[in-house]
């Protein structure tokens, strides 16, 4: 079974030719690439956040296996849902699901379920895939959609992911999909996001979840980002870097109500 794209032609171009052209336009050439354990990448339409995602991913030495962690915007399906399909289709072709890593994750965290409902209309994971196809043509993915909100769940899942990746025995990029502050002024978003990103740079997943709640920072992928940080630390991460930060106002000119986007690497 192959998952068909849900947001091709909406969040990104719907034809292979147009999508290749857009990716070639967005992805900078000749960047020094670094192997990393984890990253945070935005997931809005490419017109708004595509340049940030491209700058982030172009600076990463992307391994053949990528675990994509995204928030469940629709609230449907399992709280921690692995895509059950054999592959995901985009206009660029079909990307296989890495069943070995998916099985190891289920073994380590039995609460993780195979569930297509959570992924059916979810864009946060899908929009990452064409970038991965362009930059690593042999990529396989494990899409994991998260709909829970407690930090204890982040610790449980992050610990299990680290164990699964160790047992997998090959490099895995954990790509957490998240936009930053939503629908505030660019100035307010920048101030709030600096606080949240400060916790990320300190490799402090609990602090990230807590500060987003306390300061009402509408980082939609805070849970995927926290899970990634838990796992990355257990796998030896000691550093993080903000590669890029921008807002939708840079495109629309409206600085009074923006959505903000950040690209972060963790290694």
Q: Where are the domains of the chain?
A: 2-266
Model pTM score:
0.98
State how far the alpha carbon of 21 is from the alpha carbons of 11, 90, 241, in Å: 15, 15, 29
Residue 74 reports pLDDT greater than 80: yes
Tokens describing residue 66: 């990528």
CB within 8 Å of 153: residues ≥ 6 apart: 79, 80, 223
Paired residues of 261 in beta bridges:
246
Cα separation, 209 vs 189, whole angstroms: 17
Cα separation, 145 vs 259, whole angstroms: 21
User: Which is nearest to 112 in space by CA: 163, 52, 157?
Assistant: 157
Sign, CA torsion 164/170/174/175: negative
Residue 211 reports pLDDT greater than 80: yes
Element of type H or E holding 23:
helix 16-26
Paired residues of 89 in beta bridges:
94
User: Which is nearest to 123 in space by CA: 246, 18, 209, 10?
Assistant: 10
Query: Pairing between strand 38-41 and 258-266?
Result: antiparallel
How confident is the model over 215-264, as pLDDT tens digits?
999 999 999 999 999 999 999 999 999 999 999 999 999 999 999 999 99
DSSP SS3 for 1: coil
CB within 8 Å of 259: residues ≥ 6 apart: 44, 48, 179, 180, 181, 182, 183, 189, 247, 248
Percent of the chain predicted with pLDDT > 90: 99
Cα separation, 7 vs 95, whole angstroms: 16
**Choices 3.40.830.10, 3.40.50.2000, 3.20.20.70, 3.30.950.10: CATH for 2-266:** 3.40.830.10
Q: What is the DSSP string of 152-205?
A: HHHHHHHHHHHHHHHHH-S--EEEEE----EEE-HHHHHHHHHHHHHHHHTT-H
Give the start-end residues of each E strand in the chain: 2-3, 38-41, 65-71, 80-82, 87-90, 93-96, 113-114, 140-146, 173-177, 182-184, 240-247, 258-266
How confident is the model over 1-12, as pLDDT tens digits?
999 999 999 999
Cα separation, 167 vs 112, whole angstroms: 17
Kindly report the average pLDDT of the chain as a whole number: 97
**How large is the greatest C-alpha to C-alpha distance in the chain, in angstroms?**
48
How confident is the model over 109-118, as pLDDT tens digits?
999 999 999 9
How confident is the model over 42-56, as pLDDT tens digits?
999 999 999 999 999
CB 79 within 8 A of CB 148: yes
């Amino acid at each position: 079974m192959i998952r068909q794209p849900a947001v091709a032609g909406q969040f990104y171009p719907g034809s292979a030719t147009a999508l290749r052209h857009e990716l070639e336009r967005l992805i900078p050439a000749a960047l020094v690439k670094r192997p990393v354990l984890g990253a945070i990448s935005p997931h809005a339409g490419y017109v708004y956040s595509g340049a940030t995602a491209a700058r982030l991913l172009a600076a990463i030495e992307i391994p053949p296996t990528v675990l994509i962690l995204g928030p469940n915007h629709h609230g449907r399906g399992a709280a921690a849902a692995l895509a059950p399909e054999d592959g995901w289709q985009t206009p660029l072709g079909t990307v296989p699901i890495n069943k070995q890593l998916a099985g190891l994750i289920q073994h380590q965290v039995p609460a993780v379920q195979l569930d297509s409902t959570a992924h059916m209309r979810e864009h946060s994971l899908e929009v990452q895939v064409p970038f991965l196809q362009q930059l690593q043509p042999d990529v396989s993915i494990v899409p994991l959609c998260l709909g829970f909100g407690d930090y204890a769940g982040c610790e449980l899942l992050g610990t299990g992911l680290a164990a699964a990746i160790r047992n997998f025995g090959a490099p895995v990029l954990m790509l957490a999909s998240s936009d930053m502050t939503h629908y505030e002024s660019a100035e307010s978003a920048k101030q709030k996001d600096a606080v949240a990103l400060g916790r990320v740079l300190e490799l402090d997943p609990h602090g990230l979840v807590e500060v987003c709640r306390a300061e009402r920072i509408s980082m939609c992928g805070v849970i995927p980002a926290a899970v990634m940080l838990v796992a990355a630390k257990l796998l030896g991460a000691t550093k993080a870097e903000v590669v890029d930060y921008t807002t939708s106002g840079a495109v629309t000119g409206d600085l009074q109500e923006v959505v903000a986007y950040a690209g972060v690497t963790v290694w």
